[in-house]
Amino acid sequence: MKENYNWKYASVGGTVRVKLESGADIANLDKLDRKKWTVLSCPTTGLEFDDKTLKLLDEDGDGRIHVDEVIAASQWVTGVIKDPDLLLKGQDCLKFTDFNTENEEGAKLEKSARQILANLKIEKDGISLAETSDNEKIFADTQFNGDGIITEASADDEILKETIKNIIATTTPSKDRSGADGVTADQIDAFYATCADYSAWKAAEEKGPYGENTEAALAACDALKEKIADYFMRCKLISFNDAVAGVVDVSVDKVGAISDGDLAAAAGEIATYPLARPSADGKLPLNGGINPAWKGAFATLKALVFDVEFPKKDAITEEEWLGVLAKFDAYSAWKAAKKGAEVEALGINVVNATLKADKKAALLELIEKDKALEPEALSIEAVDKLLHYVRDFYKFLKNYVVFEDFYSKKDKAIFQAGRLYIDQRSTDLCIKVIDAGKQGDISSLSGMYILYCSCTNKVNGKSFPIAAVLTDGDVDGLRPGKNAIFYDRDGVQYDATVTSIVDNPISLRQAFWAPYKKVAKWISDKVDKSAAEKNDKSMAGLTASADKATSGTAPATAIQSNFDIAKFAGIFAALGMALGLLGQFVVSLVKGIAAIKWWALILIIIGLMLVISLPSVFITWRKLRRRDLGPVLNANGWAVNAAAYVKPKFGKDLTSIAKYPKLKAVDPVEAKKVRRRKCIIWTIIILLLAAGVYFGVPKYKACKAAKAETEAAAAIEADAPEAGAEEVPVEELATETAE
């Protein structure tokens, strides 16, 4: 893409990025090569930013804000205001003179802004978000507002008002821009169709066989229909074979099984028994012998139906019962064909009156009047959109195009969710995790040390996961399950628990001491392992000896020690020799150190430490310079287009470590413990040195004398006369040697 705008650039976070310094820069974002944008898309959730502004920027409503949507917003907002530099101020208001009335849409917005203040009965020379943010107040006293919804306030005729009220009462109302309940054209059409269906159904009403008691009689029949059918089937079985009479009737054993308990509580079990005792004559008794669990329902059926149909009978046949049911067929068919139940609560008189008045056309005409104002209403909403952009758009661009807020110390980036306190430090690089399943492998590519934490506040009922990046300090005490405290950007406290860790180098200080810590841990593990093995071996031997002594397989005297003087003499001799060698080593070491200058000794120590630590530090230094926030954001739904390095110096600004002053006064009890510990250590050191000197000095002197004798013998041998030389008398040689 060829750029025809003079962009300015700067190094931000170790990467060259474009600078946004003026309204002209914002107006020309369409000319910025997409390869130079820091971000190509970002999610609309999990950000510390105004939710409404994010939704306005997300024009297609897919939950992501893409470059094209940002460019479209920049073109629109810089076109409808006179001075695009106003965007840099981040103010939440505009004067009427700030609208670009030479732009057609700008002129509409200026007119709509004035209309908003007129609706609110406010007189001033400008408008702010406080006036545009509440649609209900803006449209509260308006008859029409362009949303295609009418309320009772939209009608002047009382019949229309009553009809709108009835529609609202019989359907799920629509919410008008004014905040009041209203109705749409579709709801009006549906209401009148429902009224017509209900009126027609009611007009074809089938009179029931029992007059006003028909509905109750039908309910009584339905309640016992299955039970009566069961009774007659049992009677038929007895008529077919009287041998089954005892089986289909209630057995004494069944009643006996529940008779020991509360029979009233066993009504459910009793209800499963036959309605009455079946007999071969196949008649249902009407005046007694009914199952107690069904006696109440049967009494209702008898009063409403049987006493009307069979007033003088004591029993009825199955044919007579089926005849009763047949009388309900026409009535049941009419009921099944019921339509318009939604308006039944209004009553048939109100429904018929509504249909007779026929105000449907008048209501739809009100809808059309309301829709005619849609452009003006949308323009009023666009004023609110404009003010959101005037206040928030530049800040959004600094976090989208440049990442300026992240790298500056003035403000936090919109993806920084708050601050985590853990292990005597705090980190400001905390990001809300939108999709935990996309983390892991992607985040590990960042080269960062990341704590994934679950944050919960039981007071407000909110919980969410975060990714907290540590960029300084040590990590020895960190592990999954460790508890911490998280504060969001509003200062609300959450209990945080570490759920997982992405392990990477965290600081040069940690890298310097890492080799020594590894060696110390290795020695500690070896000592612990050796001690454990010896302890296990000793306990096993002791247990075996105890078992032999107590089981009678060996005499009790088997557990005893035989003192061997020769053995102990050898041990003491070996110990003495060891102490002598130690002493000799200490003396040699002291003599060697004494021969070295103090500054040379310091350089030697420093050199040794560098040899040990420098490789670890160098590797860590290279990794820290490549720490990149991009993969962490990518795992969270961002499309980061440029590196976002977090180098060591910048990392120290993101993570703060606790610093304590040097205290002159300390806890006397703790000080006593420290002194005792130091005393013991120095005593051991002095005893070792004394033992070394005691055993080493004589050894050293003996070695020195032996060396002198060897040197003297060598000298004598060197001075001996060669063959043929004049011999020196022994007495003279002795005299010369003595001299």
Query: Among 409, 439, 558, which residue's Cα sits nearest to residue 501?
Result: 439
Structure-token pair, residue 577 = 């020799």
Which among 304, 280, 275 is positioned nearest to 290, based on CA atoms?
A: 275
Q: Residue 717 is encoded by which pair of tokens?
A: 């041998």
* pLDDT tens for each residue of 427-475: 999 999 987 766 665 666 788 899 999 999 999 999 999 999 998 888 8
Query: How far is Cα 187 from Cα 134, in angstroms, rounded to an integer?
Result: 26
Which of 238, 270, 245, 271 is closest to 257 using CA atoms? 270
Per-residue confidence at 561, pLDDT binned at 50, 70, 90? very low
Structure tokens at 509: 């200080």
pLDDT of residue 605: 63
Structure-token pair, residue 154: 């939209």
**Residue-level pLDDT at 578:** 56
554-575 average pLDDT score: 49
Pair 280, 195: CB distance under 8 Å: no
pLDDT of residue 582: 54
CA angle 697, 702, 703 (to 5 degrees): 95
Strand partners, 22: none
What is the distance between the alpha carbons of residues 341 and 347, in angstroms, rounded to a whole number?
Answer: 10
Higher local confidence (pLDDT), 580 or 432: 432
Higher model confidence: residue 488 or residue 630?
Answer: 488
* Per-residue pLDDT at 596: 55
Cβ-count burial of 12 within 10 angstroms (0-12 exposed, 13-18 middle, 19+ buried)?
buried
Comparing CA positions, the residue from 135, 114, 148 lying closest to residue 178 is: 135
Query: In sequence order, what E strands does 48-189 have?
Result: 64-66, 93-95, 126-128, 174-175, 181-182
Three-point CA angle 299, 301, 302, nearest 5°? 65
Per-residue confidence (pLDDT) for residue 586, from 0 to 100: 54
Give residue-wise pLDDT tens across range 119-164: 888 999 999 999 998 877 888 777 888 889 999 989 988 999 999 9
Per the listing, tokens 């300084």 go with 472
What pLDDT is recorded for position 297? 94
d(CA 587, CA 108): 98
DSSP structure string for 136-154? HHHTTT-S--SSS-B-GGG
CA geometry: angle at 680 spanning 678 and 683, to 5°?
Answer: 105
Q: Is the pLDDT of residue 731 over 50?
A: no
Do residues 324 and 309 lie in contact, with contact meaning Cβ atoms separated by under 8 Å?
A: yes
Tens of pLDDT, residue by residue over 386-404, are 999 999 999 999 999 999 9
685, burial (CB in 10 Å: exposed 0-12, middle 13-18, buried 19+) = exposed
**What is residue 60's three-state secondary structure?**
coil
| pLDDT tens digit sequence for 332-359 | 999 899 999 999 999 999 999 999 999 9
Classified as helix, coil or strand, 697 is helix
Mean pLDDT on 511-524: 65
The pLDDT score that the predictor gives to residue 544 is 74
Q: How far is CA 431 from CA 417, 453, 486, 637, in A?
A: 5, 10, 11, 12
CB 346 within 8 A of CB 170: yes
Q: DSSP for 313-342?
A: -SEE-HHHHHHHHHTTHHHHHHHHT---GG
Overall average pLDDT of the 64-76 stretch: 96
What pLDDT, in 10s, does the model give residues 154-207? 998 899 999 999 999 999 999 988 888 999 999 999 999 999 999 999 898 888
Bin 224: left if φ > 0, else alpha if -120 < ψ < 50, else beta: alpha
What is the largest distance, in Å, between two alpha-carbon atoms of the chain?
A: 175
Sign of the torsion angle spanned by Cα atoms 336, 337, 342, 346 = negative
Q: What is the pLDDT of residue 594?
A: 52
- Type of residue found at 700: Y
Is residue 708 very low, low, confident or very high in pLDDT (cuts 50, 70, 90)?
A: confident
pLDDT surpasses 90 at 683: no
DSSP for 556-623 reads: GGGS-----HHHHHHHHHHHHHHHHHHHHHHHHHHHHHHTS-HHHHHHHHHHHHHHHHHHHHHHHHHH
Residue 256 carries which side chain, given as an amino acid letter? G
**How many CB atoms are closer than 10 A to CB 630?**
21
Which residue in this structure is represented by tokens 């649609």?
135
Residue 465's identity, in one-letter code, is P
Q: Which of 221-230, 265-274, 533-542, 719-728 has the lowest mean pLDDT?
A: 719-728
**Percent of the chain at pLDDT above 90?**
50
| 3-state DSSP assignment of residue 525 | helix
Q: How far, in Å, CA of 639 to CA of 37, rounded?
A: 10
Mean pLDDT lowest among 96-110, 221-235, 441-455, 597-611: 597-611
Q: Which two tokens stand for residue 401?
A: 């195009």
Query: pLDDT for 8-57, tens place per residue?
Result: 999 888 889 999 999 999 999 999 999 999 999 999 999 999 999 999 99
Bridge partner list, 419: 487
Residue 371 vs residue 256, higher pLDDT: 371
Give the β-pairing of 284-285 and 315-316.
Answer: antiparallel
**pLDDT score for 257:** 82
Distances in whole angstroms, Cα of residue 337 to Cα of each of 333, 341, 460:
6, 11, 51
Is a pLDDT exceeding 80 seen at residue 65? yes
Measured distance CA(358)–CA(193) in Å, rounded = 12
Say if residue 546's pLDDT is above 50: yes
Residues of the chain above pLDDT 70, percent:
79
Q: In sequence order, what DSSP letters do the residues of 370-395 get, joined into one string?
A: HHTTHHHHHHHHHHHHHHHHHHHHHH
Report angle CA 131, 137, 139 to the nearest 5 degrees.
110
d(CA 652, CA 427): 10
- pLDDT of 516 above 80: no
Are 455 and 464 spatial neighbours (Cβ–Cβ below 8 Å)?
Answer: yes
**Terminal-to-terminal C-alpha distance of the chain:** 105
pLDDT at 656 over 80: yes
- Is residue 313 within 8 A of residue 286, CB to CB? The reply is yes
Please provide the average confidence, as pLDDT, over all residues in the chain: 83
**Tokens standing for 27?**
């107006």
Average pLDDT rounded to a whole number, residues 297-325: 93
Can you tell me the mean pLDDT for 686-701? 66
Q: Do the Cβ atoms of 78 and 29 come closer than 8 Å? A: no
Those residues whose C-beta lies under 8 Å from the C-beta of residue 601, and which sit 6 or more positions away, are: 593
What's the average model confidence in pLDDT over 610-637?
A: 76
DSSP state of 727: P
Which has more confidence, 179 or 62?
62
Determine the pLDDT at residue 480.
94
Q: Which of 489, 733, 511 is nearest to 619 (CA)?
A: 511
Contacts of 162 (CB under 8 A, 6+ apart): none
Q: What are phi and psi of 708, to 5 degrees?
A: -65, -45
